[in-house]
Structure 1
């Protein structure tokens, strides 16, 4: 009964938090807690109606957990090797491979440490387990947030559709960036078809050190060649980060609107929201960043080749974790203190 009550209360809390502001990781944490208590309530009901079945279910979960870790590590290692063959060897492309190896290495290190039966070995195994549990929980929260946000429909009538840039190849738009631009053009046309006031389509991206021209310039050229009216394309060509993409694009749209030069002839800054287009794996961080910098925006994702997603998504997880590094340090501090106290107790008992 307690689990069911917690699930219901947390479910209402999640709905309220999601309605107020969907661009928060804590929404996913509350959603996961809701699911946990809902499953607990279901198990309690099964145990009440079928006393022997609940035990089998628990044993099944305990058996499937290590099996799922082995399967997941194998999938990640295979994906990492594929990334090396298709995208070249780099740290970003090796994240899925490193994650797969880490999933296998953690128990391979922790079990021998615990079997030494020494205070230092047991404390080390305990700390490794707690750190892995923290990382796994953080990744589950991030993954849940990504899935929840991907199902959210963007609001209608944005001030502009902003397409985030990515690296050019020999000054031309590569397939990854082309997918973003095609999705941006689709969203732009959908807004016009729905009767929205004429708006801008903003390709945003500066010039990297290895690029012969700004990304925004090449993106604007691609959009015009694809049939988007030249007057509706407003290129932003200074941004070097996702944060600058958002800030500079918002500023550019507001300045143009204030000058009375917007695509629909509106006067004064609109003060509404932006619809930001990027690749699917980049949507969660884009949404979180837009809130962090005070930009009212919805983010949608373009399709990406499947083999590219695991490493790219892990890279996004690392970036988001770095955004909240102080919080992670605070959450890990009790584990470190608990491990130290436990190791000190074992040392003195020996």
Structure 2
């Protein structure tokens, strides 16, 4: 019963935090914790009322190693598919690397433990702690990314910012086209509800392998798709998501559209764009466009790595207790064996 009460408290906290500002990753932590305690509490109640349900819980636990193998196989298969379709790059290799890590790391930990060497056992413990920590962080990120991506925007935008991605031969490829189509959908809906239509800002600079700025190619697509040219102002200098948002906000201000904005990107990128918009102090909501399914595992992993990198100092500090605990356990094992 305590777990259910705690789940209700956490659930209420999540709703409050989400209403206050949905663009916080801590919301995802509270949501995942609420779900965990809810499942735990319900399982405990069912075990008291129907003792046979304990066998279901034991069965799920027993199948965990199989689930790990299945997950690893899926990630490896997806990684190979990404290489075939998208080419070899570090970003496209992420699902393959993750799948191999899921298979190899438990084996390494087991080999370290069976050496019976205190230092090796300590390393195995540290590996377990760190993998558990980053695994929980990934679950929180993925769960809240999916939840945030399904939220409906409620602002009446003064501008609609569409984040750029790589163009091919000066044209927008399917991934970027889905963002532009979503941006047009938001623009048309907002135009029908207010006298002053929002400003469309396609944002993206020119990469080394691109023949022109992404923003220019995106603007051409929007105008060809029916958006009035006077409602489209391209941003053509940004090279990162943060610059996309900063430079686009400046354009909106210069054009007299400094109010709320809706930011459009692909669904896997929505949460990080939202976190950045909050960090930059922008009044904004982020919506996502569909992405090919085979592309999603690597894309979510790439976003996860980017968020870890942006908060590397915080995560390093949070990992220090695990290092301290490992040193304590190693020292205790050394003393016990001497």
Assess same fold via TM > 0.5.
yes
Shift of 1:341: 0.9
Which string of whole-angstrom CA distances, capped at 9 and with x for unpartnered residues, describes residues 51-83 of structure 1? Answer: 3432x1331221232221111110000010011
Shift of 1:136: 0.6
CA–CA distance in structure 2, aligned partners of residues 287 and 236 of structure 1: 19
CA–CA distance in structure 2, aligned partners of residues 186 and 346 of structure 1: 63
- Residues 227-242 of structure 1: matches in 2 within 5 Å? 227-242=226-241
User: 1:118 is matched with which residue?
Assistant: 117
The correspondence for 1:307, drawn from 294, 301, 307, is 294
CA–CA distance in structure 2, aligned partners of residues 90 and 53 of structure 1: 47
CA–CA distance in structure 2, aligned partners of residues 349 and 242 of structure 1: 53
Aligned-residue CA RMSD (Å): 1.3
User: 2:143 is matched with which residue?
Assistant: 144
User: 1:260 is matched with which residue?
Assistant: none
Does the alignment pair 1:26 with 2:13?
Answer: no
Does the alignment pair 1:252 with 2:247?
Answer: no
Q: Secondary structure at the match of 2:153?
A: coil
Using a 3 Å threshold, how does the CA distance of structure 1 residues 194 and 67 change in structure 2: closer, same or farther? farther
Contact 1:204 1:235 in 2 (8 A): yes
Does the alignment pair 1:64 with 2:51?
Answer: no
Contact 1:157 1:197 in 2 (8 A): no
TM-score (norm 2): 0.97
Count of matched residue positions in the alignment of Structure 1 and Structure 2:
337
CA–CA distance in structure 1, aligned partners of residues 177 and 44 of structure 2: 51
Contact 2:252 2:258 in 1 (8 A): no
- Residues 322-337 of structure 1: matches in 2 within 5 Å? 322-337=309-324
CA–CA distance in structure 1, aligned partners of residues 323 and 120 of structure 2: 15
User: 1:47 is matched with which residue?
Assistant: 47
Q: Secondary structure at the match of 1:51?
A: coil
CA–CA distance in structure 2, aligned partners of residues 66 and 296 of structure 1: 45
Does the alignment pair 1:320 with 2:307?
Answer: yes
Contact 2:206 2:213 in 1 (8 A): yes
Segment drifting more, 202-211 vs 22-31? 202-211
Which string of whole-angstrom CA distances, capped at 9 and with x for unpartnered residues, describes residues 23-55 of structure 1? Answer: 11110111111111111211221122123432x
User: 2:261 is matched with which residue?
Assistant: 274
Shift of 1:173: 1.5
Does the alignment pair 1:15 with 2:2?
Answer: no
User: 2:219 is matched with which residue?
Assistant: 220
Shift of 1:271: 4.3
Runs of 5+ unmatched residues, structure 1: 258-269
CA–CA distance in structure 1, aligned partners of residues 127 and 22 of structure 2: 33
Shift of 1:199: 1.3
CA–CA distance in structure 1, aligned partners of residues 115 and 210 of structure 2: 55
Q: Secondary structure at the match of 1:149?
A: helix
Contact 1:113 1:121 in 2 (8 A): yes
CA–CA distance in structure 2, aligned partners of residues 284 and 97 of structure 1: 23
User: 1:87 is matched with which residue?
Assistant: 86
CA–CA distance in structure 2, aligned partners of residues 89 and 271 of structure 1: 41
Q: Secondary structure at the match of 1:162?
A: strand
Contact 1:156 1:191 in 2 (8 A): no
CA–CA distance in structure 2, aligned partners of residues 196 and 53 of structure 1: 59
Which string of whole-angstrom CA distances, capped at 9 and with x for unpartnered residues, describes residues 294-324 of structure 1? Answer: 1121111111111111111100100011111
Shift of 1:340: 0.9
Q: Secondary structure at the match of 1:163?
A: strand
Contact 2:187 2:197 in 1 (8 A): no
CA–CA distance in structure 1, aligned partners of residues 272 and 82 of structure 2: 22
Shift of 1:104: 0.1
User: 1:266 is matched with which residue?
Assistant: none
Segment drifting more, 79-88 vs 193-202? 193-202
CA–CA distance in structure 2, aligned partners of residues 50 and 223 of structure 1: 60
Q: Secondary structure at the match of 2:155?
A: coil
